[in-house]
Amino acid sequence: MNNDHISVWQKCLKTIKKNIHAQGFKTWFEPIKPVALNGNVLTIQVPNKFFYEWLEENYVALLRMTIRQELGDKARLDYQILVSKKANHAPPVAPGIVNNGQKNKKKMFDTGIAADQIKNPFVIPGIKRLRIDSQLNPSYVFDNFIEGDCNRLARSAGMAVAKKPGGTAFNPLFIFGKVGLGKTHLAQAIGNDVKMKSPNKTILYVSSEKFTNQLIESLRNNEINDFVNFYQLIDVLIIDDIQFLSNKQKTQDIFFHIFNQLHQNGKQLILTSDRPPKDLEGVEERLISRFKWGLSADLQAPDFETRMAIVESKMSREGVVMSNEVTEFISYNIKNNIRELEGVLISLIAQSSLNKRDIDIGLAKEVIKNFVAEISKEVTVEFIQEMVAEHYELKVENLKGKTRKRSIVIARQLCMYLAKNMTNKSLKVIGDNFGGRDHSTVIYSCKAVSDLLDTDMVFKDTVQILEKKIKMSMHN
Ligand code: ADP
Ligand code: MG
């Protein structure tokens, strides 16, 4: 059996490859060179110290297991660190040469930055205005970011920031909210707005993941200074989904440094996260405290009216005509996630054009079935209470409670009226649902509402709207 270092390492690689991600294998194992085998000690060469630390930190168990498999229980791994010939700082490169593109092929971080840009912007001293591709998606703009109660603060803070990046108290602007509620859209809308209004500003949108990967890559190549310098050139830095930095100590350290530099120099930071700063676990306190320096604004699930507006806006952009009834039906049933709402619309458009069908309630129902587990069926007293409470901006407890405040009394009576007309629950059961009121109270309430309906047109409108809203959820 040929037990030289090369064949042993080849066999190790085979095992390793089976056990890890292709990308990880490529990044961390392909560059390794086996150099010697002395008894049960295999020596491998790694490009630099960081590389060694990374392997030890992340792959030690796998390496141990693999090498023991090949060389027995006493097997050991020795590292040889290749001394980099390159100085830590790449020498400054004259702009002329840089613009020659091909000639200066020092690697840019993998941001997908287009080829016609300067290859290595961070080593050019004295040049401020660089063409760094912002990585923004031009379709995320304020114009198509529908405003509603759910996003008003964040949206207007975003607009203020776009007007005066770095010049408001909203620095950083920290946008948080659950998935699919518009964090990326809003953050990018700010970037796009700045780009339009201040073409001289350097804007960069980057996901936390990409940021982390670039950083690891630069550490690996001894280019961390370049990395930091590059980020210092940015006027408006947008980092998306910052929660992914959690438990990444090294990345957080470097980000902290970049954050401070930018902030001190009056540059704008926009961060998004799926939770507020205080709930970020595995993120250093000093970073969290900085996140709180500016403004934290949340995006909440859109209310019915906002969902309607979003559906209408998207459909009209697509040039699709849809009846109000269908718009309402969709807006009722898709509640928590705007991305899902868009998914439904796209499917609807596809279905209708493929099958040459009009978009009607029937088609909408079929499509929505693929998105939500259950289309609301039966109207319940609870549901009516929720709808009425939402409409009057009250809490459901108020409806069940004893308050005699007129506005609450009317809402409560209306609930009982709707419950009697729209469910098949007995007066007793309905009364029970309102903090144990008896059936005569329910009768009295229904009568009071009927009387009011005859005299108060505004109230009548309200009741009709509510009835319609509730009925929509029964379409099934
Ligand atoms: P997040 O980043 O919070 O997960 P996104 O920004 O990706 O969410 O939004 C999901 C989808 O919903 C996107 O296609 C976005 O354009 C759309 N969207 C979100 N909020 C709005 C809004 N207020 N008006 C119109 N579209 C929106
Ligand atoms: Mg996002």
The whole-number pLDDT of residue 238 equals 98
**Is the pLDDT score of 300 beyond 60?**
yes
Ligand nearest to the CA of 183: 1
Q: Which residues of 268-291 are buried (b: 16+ CB within 10 A; e: fewer)?
A: bbbbbbbebbeebeebbeebeebb
pLDDT in tens, 393-439: 999 999 999 989 998 999 999 999 999 988 878 899 899 999 999 99
All CATH 3.30.300.180 domain ranges in the chain, comma separated: 5-112
The whole-number pLDDT of residue 118 equals 32
Ligand 1 geometric centre to CA of 181 (Å): 5
Ligand nearest to the CA of 137: 1
Ligand 2 geometric centre to CA of 338 (Å): 11
Give me the percent of the chain exceeding a pLDDT of 90. 60
Ligand 1 geometric centre to CA of 363 (Å): 24
User: Could you identify the atom of ligand 1 that is nearest to the CA of residue 144?
Assistant: 25
User: Could you identify the atom of ligand 1 that is nearest to the CA of residue 188?
Assistant: 6
pLDDT in tens, 88-119: 333 333 232 233 333 333 333 333 333 333 33
Question: In terms of pLDDT, which residue wins out, 291 or 111?
Answer: 291
Ligand 1 geometric centre to CA of 146 (Å): 9
User: Could you identify the atom of ligand 1 that is nearest to the CA of residue 341?
Assistant: 12
User: Could you identify the atom of ligand 1 that is nearest to the CA of residue 150?
Assistant: 23
Cβ neighbours, 10 Å, residue 12:
25
Question: In terms of pLDDT, which residue wins out, 289 or 85?
Answer: 289
- Choose one of 155, 183, 190, 339 to mutate for the ligand 1 pocket test, by most ligand atoms within 8 angstroms of C-beta: 339
Which CATH number applies to 381-474?
Answer: 1.10.1750.10
All CATH 3.40.50.300 domain ranges in the chain, comma separated: 142-298
Ligand 2 geometric centre to CA of 207 (Å): 9
Q: What is the dihedral of CA 65, 68, 73, 77, to 10 degrees?
A: -100
Ligand 2 geometric centre to CA of 185 (Å): 7
- Choose one of 185, 310, 312 to mutate for the ligand 1 pocket test, by most ligand atoms within 8 angstroms of C-beta: 185
Q: Whose CA is closest to atom 13 on ligand 1?
A: 339
Q: Whose CA is closest to atom 14 on ligand 1?
A: 339
Ligand 2 geometric centre to CA of 413 (Å): 43
**CATH superfamily entry for domain 5-112:** DnaA, N-terminal domain (3.30.300.180)
Distance of CA 351 to the CA centre of its chain: 28
Mean pLDDT value of segment 226-248? 94
Question: Which region among 23-37, 149-163, 409-423 has the lowest average model confidence (pLDDT)?
Answer: 23-37
Ligand 1 geometric centre to CA of 149 (Å): 15
pLDDT in tens, 435-471: 999 999 999 999 999 999 999 999 999 999 999 888 7
User: Could you identify the atom of ligand 1 that is nearest to the CA of residue 338?
Assistant: 12
User: Could you identify the atom of ligand 1 that is nearest to the CA of residue 240?
Assistant: 2
Ligand nearest to the CA of 298: 1
User: Could you identify the atom of ligand 1 that is nearest to the CA of residue 306?
Assistant: 23
Cβ neighbours, 10 Å, residue 201:
18
The whole-number pLDDT of residue 178 equals 95
Token pair listed for 412:
């409560």
Q: Whose CA is closest to atom 9 on ligand 1?
A: 182
pTM of the model: 0.62
Mean pLDDT, the chain, rounded, equals 85
**Is the pLDDT score of 87 beyond 80?**
no
Ligand 2 geometric centre to CA of 184 (Å): 4
Three-state secondary structure string covering the chain: CCCCHHHHHHHHHHHHHHHCCHHHHHHHHCCCEEEEEECCEEEEEECCHHHHHHHHHHCHHHHHHHHHHHHCCCCEEEEEECCCCCCCCCCCCCHHHHHCHHHCCCCCCCCCCCCCCCCCHHHCCCCCCCCCCCCCCCCCCCCCCCCCCCCHHHHHHHHHHHHCCCCCCCCCEEEEECCCCCHHHHHHHHHHHHHHHCCCCCEEEEEHHHHHHHHHHHHHCCCHHHHHHHHCCCCEEEEECHHHHCCCHHHHHHHHHHHHHHHHCCCEEEEEECCCHHHCCCCCHHHHHHHCCCEEEEECCCCHHHHHHHHHHHHHHHCCCCCHHHHHHHHHHCCCCHHHHHHHHHHHHHHHHHCCCCCCHHHHHHHHHCCCCCCCCCCCHHHHHHHHHHHHCCCHHHHHCCCCCHHHHHHHHHHHHHHHHHCCCCHHHHHHCCCCCCHHHHHHHHHHHHHHHHHCHHHHHHHHHHHHHHHHCCCC
**Is the pLDDT score of 171 beyond 70?**
yes
Cα three-residue angle 356-357-360, rounded to 5 degrees? 160
Ligand 1 geometric centre to CA of 182 (Å): 3
User: Could you identify the atom of ligand 1 that is nearest to the CA of residue 145?
Assistant: 24
**Is the pLDDT score of 26 beyond 90?**
no
Ligand 1 binding site (Cβ under 6 Å of any ligand atom):
144-146, 151, 177, 179-185, 310, 338-339, 342
CATH class of the region 304-368: mainly alpha
Q: Is the peptide bond before 276 cis (omega within 30 degrees of 0)?
A: no
Ligand 1 geometric centre to CA of 113 (Å): 24
All CATH 1.10.1750.10 domain ranges in the chain, comma separated: 381-474
CA 345, CA 376: separation in Å to the nearest integer?
A: 19
Query: 194: exposed, middle or buried (C-beta count within 10 Å: 0-12, 13-18, 19+)?
Result: buried
Ligand nearest to the CA of 338: 1
Region of residue 321 (phi > 0: left; psi between -120 and 50: alpha; otherwise: beta): beta
CA 83, CA 146: separation in Å to the nearest integer?
A: 55
The whole-number pLDDT of residue 460 equals 94
Ligand nearest to the CA of 205: 2
Cα three-residue angle 354-358-362, rounded to 5 degrees? 100
Distances (CA, A) of 108 to 201, 204, 252, 287: 21, 15, 21, 27
**CATH superfamily entry for domain 142-298:** P-loop containing nucleotide triphosphate hydrolases (3.40.50.300)
User: Could you identify the atom of ligand 1 that is nearest to the CA of residue 187?
Assistant: 6
